[in-house]
Structure 1
Amino acid sequence: MTSRREIVGNQFNSFISILQKNKKILWLLIIIITLLWGYAWVLMKASLEYMGPFTFSSFRFGVGSVTLLLVVWLLKIGLPAKKHWKHLIIVGFLQTTVVFLLVMYGLRFVDAGKSSVLLYSMPLWSTILATKYLGEKITPAKLSGLLIGMVGLLAILGWDIWKEPNIKMIFGEFLIIISSVSWAVANVYYRIKLQSLPKLQVNAYQMFFGTIGIVIATLFMEWGKPIALNVHSIYYILFTGILASALCFTVWFLILSLIDMATATISTLLVPMFGLLFSSLILGEKMSIGVITGSILIIVGIVVAQLPKNKPRHR
């Protein structure tokens, strides 16, 4: 008899075959995933009405980790070798623990849409770090993109400092920028130490180890604080944990195997665009001139930095 895991594996391979043959379905999936990730920012912000930021992250990534490990088991990916565990713990700390503790705490003071833009400035920091630690060259396109993106960040921060100097909001913005840098460091560290492993396996186990860090921080910082578990808060946890964190990442890593990295990086820019849109429509957040200008510059900067080098023509 065919086992359940074999059935799931066969269905997964059939799904890959469909995506390889039909690019329209592939791009539809990219739009759906980035749309869901953009919407998740609204739920992350709204969750703060019901529990502390660290508590929500513990619930979210606890549920997400269990779901993702189940996917890894069903797909017969298996356990990583013990020699990789130390590196997975480090990536989990940088990419899950640090990023989402700082992001969720920063969301207490910063609008959801603006937060999504600041976090997704990550490719700019990755470009800088890749130059130093991966030996990648700074091309004119990358340099131009970096400068444009940095001007975008300054536009957002500078506008807030000049127009409405709210210390808590500016502090929250810096926390989210630090989380963006941490995400970039995790990406570079992954490239150096873990690139040989399956991406889905890396994400599952780094999320698991990162979740342990979040739970420890929650126990120290928010133990005994009120938690309101109701229809709304449970929906926020399940949506962001199962759908946005686990299943979307499963499909995203599948997509990464079918498209080039530059296209994938540019595609993720849809996330802050959807984040700004949903935050404005659902939460009623107002987009200042600084946020609009800065967002456009950051997105343009990342696109320019990812432009492929012109190949020499053969005569």
Structure 2
Amino acid sequence: MTNFSNTFLNSLQKNKILLWLLILAITLLWGYAWVLMKASLDYMGPFTFSAFRFGVGSLTLLLVMWLMKLGLPPRRYWKPIVIVGILQTSVVFLLVMYGLRFVDAGKSSVLLYSMPMWSSILALKFLGEKITPPKFTGLMIGMLGLLTILGWDIWVGQNIEVIFGELLIIIAAISWAISNVYYRINLQQLAKIQASAYQMLFGTIGIIIAALVMEWNQPIVLNVHSIYYILFTGVLASALCFTVWFLILSLIDMVTATISTLLVPMFGLVFSSLLLNEKMSAGVAVGSGMIIAGILIAQITKKRGIHSHD
């Protein structure tokens, strides 16, 4: 199994098209997951849904590890795993799910994906990555694209609840950025599936505690729809996507990896307009175009130095 993993990693490093297809796949799945996260609030509290989602995700990964006969991670990794679990799973998704009570799914996904900006700043300071002019330009165009999608209503005419929800989601974005950099420093050498499974397990424990404290007596409706939301977001958007995300983080530099995730809010907005009837404005179309342009511009240097951390 280790030989297969190494062969797969090597082929990904050599084949950038395959790597970008993987990025496209997880950003599509994450984009669609936003719709399900918003829709789940009709059936249960936001923390309860997250507990189900990441509980299913953790169990899926632990089962896969058991089938692969992978043991426990070495002792030196336990503390970093717990920290990544709290930052990336507990904090991010507790804040995001609570924020979704006040903010549209499409707009929420846009706010969370201010994460590349925070990641790039942290990578500059803590990983010694240089932001080359094309990367900086691409990042700025992408972030301007996000602001274009949000439109003027983030600055004017907002009620206090919506602003509160938006602030929670921006804090979640900063927490995710910190966990990305912390992962690169402390867990880079650990098997990706182990890192993903155990950080998710510890993160889920934090979410379960929050759900028990905050939503003890709230109704839970389990039917075909809500179970589908739990299984899709748990198995595909969590177990699969976060394992692939850790793989991507270990193969390419932080700035490129995180800029690529700007595709998620674009897909989130498309799915939200199709499935939740959230309005798709001209600003959304222009902003989405800017995000794609930003990602393409950021890739210019990769032609000259594919493996460099620039």
Q: Same fold, TM exceeding 0.5?
A: yes
The TM-score bracket by the shorter chain reads 0.7 to 0.9
**Structure 2: gaps spanning 5 or more residues:** 306-310
Structure 1 unaligned blocks of 5 or more: 1-8
Match of 2:185 among 181, 192, 213: 192
Taking the aligned partners of 2:197 and 2:146, their CA distance within structure 1 comes to: 31
> Aligned in 2, Cα 1:33/1:157: closer, same or farther, shift over 3 Å?
closer
Q: Which residue of 1 aligns with 2:103?
A: 110
- SS of the aligned residue for 1:49 comes to coil
- Give 1:115's aligned amino acid: S
Alpha-carbon deviation of 1:245? 1.2
- Corresponding residue number in structure 2 for 1:5: none
Q: Structure 1: how far apart are the matches of 2:88 and 2:120? A: 17
2:135 touches 2:256 (CA, 8 Å); kept in 1?
A: no
Answer yes or no: is 1:204 the counterpart of 2:201.
Answer: no
1:23-38 superposed matches below 5 A:
30-38=23-31
Verify the 8 A CA contact 2:184 2:249 in the aligned structure 1. no
1:177-223: CA deviation from partner (whole Å, max 9, x where unpaired): 21111111001111111112122211111111111111111111111
TM-score (norm 2): 0.83
Aligned equivalent of 2:208, options 195, 215, 218: 215
Cα distance change on mapping 1:167 and 1:289 into 2, 3 Å: farther
| Structure having the higher Rg | 1
- Of 133, 140, 145, the residue aligned with 2:138 is 145
| 1:311, distance to aligned residue in structure 2 (A) | 4.5
1:147 and 1:255, CA in 2 relative to 1: closer, same or farther beyond 3 A?
closer
Say whether the 8 Å CA contact 2:115–2:176 is kept in structure 1: yes
Of the candidates 52, 56, 59, which is equivalent to residue 49 of structure 2? 56
Cα contact 2:119–2:258 (8 A) shared by 1: no
Q: 1:244, CA displacement in angstroms?
A: 1.9
Question: Could you tell me whether the CA contact under 8 Å between 2:57 and 2:235 is conserved in 1?
Answer: yes
Select the residue among 115, 124, 132 that pairs with 1:131.
Answer: 124
Residues 294-303 or 222-231, more deviating: 294-303
Distance 2:301 2:149 in 1: 28
Q: What is the RMSD of the two structures over their aligned residues, measured on CA atoms?
A: 3.3
Tell me the secondary structure at the aligned position of residue 102 of structure 2: coil
Structure-2 residue corresponding to 1:4: none
In the alignment, which of 257, 260, 264 is matched to residue 271 of structure 1? 264
SS of equivalent residue, structure 1 residue 279: helix
Letter in 2 for 1:167: I
Query: If the length of structure 1 is used for normalisation, what is the TM-score?
Result: 0.82
Percent identical among aligned pairs is 72
Mapping of residues 1-315 of structure 1, within 5 Å: 9=1, 16=8, 30-156=23-149, 159-162=152-155, 164-250=157-243, 260-261=252-253, 265=258, 267-305=260-298, 307-308=300-301, 311=304
